[in-house]
Amino acid sequence: KVGEKYYLFYTGHNDGRDIHETIMVAEGTSPTSFEKKEGWEIAPPAELGQKNDFRDPQAYYDETTDTITLTITAAQNDIGRVVKYTLNGDLSDPQYGGVIFTNPEEIVGDVWNLECSDTFRIGDKWYLTFSAQDGVLWYTSADTRYGVYEAEPKPLDGHLFYAAKSVTDGEDTYMVGWARRSESPSSTQDVRAWAGNLVAQKVVETEDGIVLAPLDAYLAADIQRTLLSESEVSPAAGEYVDSFTCQERYIVTGSFTFEGTGDFGFAFDYNGRKDRYKLVSFSPEQQAMTLSFNLGTTPITSVPVSLEAGRSYPFTYVQEGSVGILYLDGQAALTVRVYGVSGRAVKLYSEDGNVTFSDLKQFTYSY
């Protein structure tokens, strides 16, 4: 919003033009009704050396200087970049401000498009987030909003939570993004389709950067919660212990300690066949949280964590419908998609029998 006007910046894509992608804008007097501003666009600067990848504008308005800054996803030499433009509040005089982030391929991978980039501040640091081609949400940090961002990128979730943008309520910051879906709910091979369900996760600052955490509302005392079960479970090697029932909406909290390197975690009964269980697991050997189908033989997604034998780790699992998020508190979040499990048993399992789940509580809740 600039004065009494609203601007909606968007990607114009046309394979029939010499320049395939440009940044365009629509104007309105409310945030729900816009008309395209004919004849206005920003084309890729010559410095990028390409005309195909120039998209996903994010706009920031500075009232004190009456200027709009745009961050834009682009590519240069087939490497993903985030660039900056500055223009006046009346949309005049767009000026290219250079690259503020370059994808380090040795960390993120061969990514030429850092989709849906965004910047926000928590404490004394500025953070830039983006989604890689496989959907993984990454972040990096700098001392100023427009960088240059040179801190080593780290993942915030697996590839099932993508295209997330930041929002704030004035006190806390949240990432709101898509929980990816399957083309067919009956698929036991992948979760790769676009769109899905919108999910909000809280951003929490740590000594090492930021992590995603459950919304405070999930565990707040003023929502209607019903305690369904309390227990301690120590599965034997290869044992799958019925521990909860998969509700339409529920939360499981608890902690675990382990020895050894075998996987352990949640097993979701999909169709009554053990070889089709969907596993949401902690893996000491991989140092990761993982989602896999078909009793672990079909990996779907994962996120790195630090797991040390003999320590106690608190965790939270939230599920609504077929979308779940496993939080290793203070470390990581893993968004999962588990179709066909509602009303069935949720089991706790261990590969080698050296894990104890304690202080387990399952709640159902309503708003």
Asked if pLDDT for residue 227 goes beyond 80, the answer is no
Would you say residue 146 lies in a domain?
Answer: yes
Do 128 and 232 have their domain in common?
no
Would you say residue 170 lies in a domain?
Answer: no
Do 13 and 149 have their domain in common?
yes
Banded pLDDT at 182 (limits 50, 70, 90): very high
- Tally Cβ neighbours within 10 Å of residue 354: 19
Would you say residue 176 lies in a domain?
Answer: no
Give the CATH number, domain containing residue 121: 2.115.10.20
Per-residue pLDDT tens for 57-112? 999 999 999 999 999 999 999 999 999 999 999 999 999 999 999 999 999 988 88
Global pTM exceeds 0.85: yes
The one-letter amino acid code at 31 reads P
Mean pLDDT of 183-200: 91
Q: Which residues contact 284 (CB under 8 A, 6 or more apart)?
A: 258, 260, 261, 262, 263, 307, 309
Sign for the CA dihedral angle at 4, 10, 15, 21 comes to: positive
Last residue of a domain, one of 155, 183, 200: 155
Do 11 and 95 have their domain in common?
yes
Q: ω into residue 82 within 30 of 0, thus cis?
A: no
- Tally Cβ neighbours within 10 Å of residue 5: 12
**How far is Cα 147 from Cα 267, in angstroms, rounded to an integer?**
43
The residue behind tokens 């380090």 is 104
Would you say residue 314 lies in a domain?
Answer: yes
- Tally Cβ neighbours within 10 Å of residue 77: 10
Domain region containing 349: 221-366
- Report pLDDT for 181: 95
Q: What percent of the chain has pLDDT over 70?
A: 98
- Report pLDDT for 221: 56
- Tally Cβ neighbours within 10 Å of residue 28: 14
Banded pLDDT at 256 (limits 50, 70, 90): very high
Neighbour-count burial for 137-153, b at 16+ CB within 10 Å, e otherwise: bbbbbbeebbbebebeb
Last residue of a domain, one of 155, 181, 199: 155
Asked if pLDDT for residue 222 goes beyond 60, the answer is no
Do 28 and 124 have their domain in common?
yes
Mean pLDDT of 169-190: 93
Banded pLDDT at 217 (limits 50, 70, 90): confident
Do 230 and 144 have their domain in common?
no
Would you say residue 308 lies in a domain?
Answer: yes
Q: What percent of the chain has pLDDT over 90?
A: 87
Would you say residue 206 lies in a domain?
Answer: no
Higher pLDDT residue, 272 or 366?
Answer: 272
- Report pLDDT for 340: 94
Nearest residue to 25 (alpha-carbon basis) of 12, 44, 13: 12
| Count of structural domains within the chain | 2
Radius of gyration, CA atoms only, the chain: 23
Would you say residue 303 lies in a domain?
Answer: yes
